[in-house]
Amino acid sequence: MKYCLYKKEKKEIVPVTGIEENKLAKVKLSEIFEKRQELRIPSRFIEDWKSVALFQTNGDITKANSILFPNEKSAFALNNTLNDLTAKEWLPETVTVFSQKGLGAGNKDAQIEKQHPAPFSFQDVGRLIQFYSKENDKVLDPFSGVASTAKACAFNNRVGYGIELNPKYYELAKKRIEIEVPSEQKGKGLQNLINGDSKEEIKKIKKDFFDFIVTSPPYWNILETIDHKGKERVNNDLDHKYSEDSKDFANIEDYTLFLETLSSFFNDCARILKKGKYMCVIVSDFRKKDKYYTFHADLANELEKKGNFVLKGVRILYQRHKAIYPYGYPFSFVPNMHHQNVLIFQNIKKK
């Protein structure tokens, strides 16, 4: 007999053996399948529906509102409107520290991203996309660079939109999606890349269009400082700053003005993001000359003051593969910044 209803018993997920309960569960599963699009059930369950069972902690069929693959021992709640994760998959994504995952510098699919002075791992942004959106949701990266977010969207079947000011990186982004995303990946054709000024481009987008925004904006003009890492890029004939464009946020000279401009931009993004949905902004603190800037805290405070977003938490991304340089040696302490801060905001716009 195929059991159609499971419960939790002594921390284990076990079948409910009653014949009547399983008959009712089978009927309820058929009803759920008929409403699969309305309920937005993840495709992995639909594709193997014959293996799916109902789950309720106490085995109460009248209250069963979760489905599971019995051999995975973790259930997906049908009222989960945020993402497509089971409870077991959800839990580690609430831990405030996680480690960077990359392809490795020598990987053939890591060569385009190296041409950007501050690339972001598509696998790391992919984790955020998986948690804060569902399949076929629309995701925006307003500082797209070489399309790490769009690539992650392609592999996770999201409709990605990326805006990039620099024509060079825009062209590299298109090339990256074409080369690094296999043709059989159904999310490949869902990506939309735009070459333009984000401040102007978001005005063209209709209200409540996006389900999630994720980006890593410029960290002021710190790329102008030619440190050990910068010298390596110069010696290898690679870009060490984003652009010379006056519209580039990274070319704002005054830090206070930069914070005001960037926080105002993100506050304006509330219009195109659905209310209650999330925006993740990945930033790092930095040192410029003799001053240390707590950029993540400064940006979070300024953005909350604008009124459309509330900070829900911060996750630390440990960049364990970064090279270490002898900053300050042998006279003073100068940190090697080996983490980024993922600022997690929720859209609470009033209108």
Tens-place pLDDT, residues 67-103: 999 988 899 999 999 999 999 999 999 999 999 987 6
Model confidence at 2, pLDDT cuts 50, 70, 90, reads confident
How far is C-alpha 318 from the geometric centre of its chain's CA atoms?
15
B/e letters for 257-296, b = 16+ CB within 10 Å, e = fewer, are ebbeebbebbbebbbbbbeebbbbbbbbbbbeeeeebebb
**What span, in angstroms and rounded, lies between the C-alpha atoms of 76 and 60?**
16
Model confidence at 236, pLDDT cuts 50, 70, 90, reads low
Winning range, highest mean pLDDT, from 195-204, 231-240, 248-257: 195-204
Q: For 246-270, how does the pLDDT look when each residue is reduced to its tens digit (9 = 90+)? A: 899 989 999 999 999 999 999 999 9
Q: For 297-346, how does the pLDDT look when each residue is reduced to its tens digit (9 = 90+)? A: 999 999 999 999 999 999 999 998 888 999 889 999 999 999 999 999 99
All structural domains of the chain, each given as residue ranges with its CATH number in brackets, are 5-81 (no CATH), 95-347 (3.40.50.150)
**What span, in angstroms and rounded, lies between the C-alpha atoms of 214 and 127?**
11
Q: Is 207 helix (H, G, I), strand (E, B) or coil?
A: coil
Per-residue DSSP letter, 251? G
How far is C-alpha 37 from the geometric centre of its chain's CA atoms?
24
Per-residue DSSP letter, 206? P
Mean pLDDT for 143-153 is 96
Q: Please say if the pLDDT value at position 235 is more than 60.
A: no
Cα–Cα distance list, 104 to 108, 123, 150, 182, 197 (Å): 9, 12, 19, 19, 31
Single pTM value for the model: 0.93
Residue 213 φ then ψ, to 5°: -125, 130
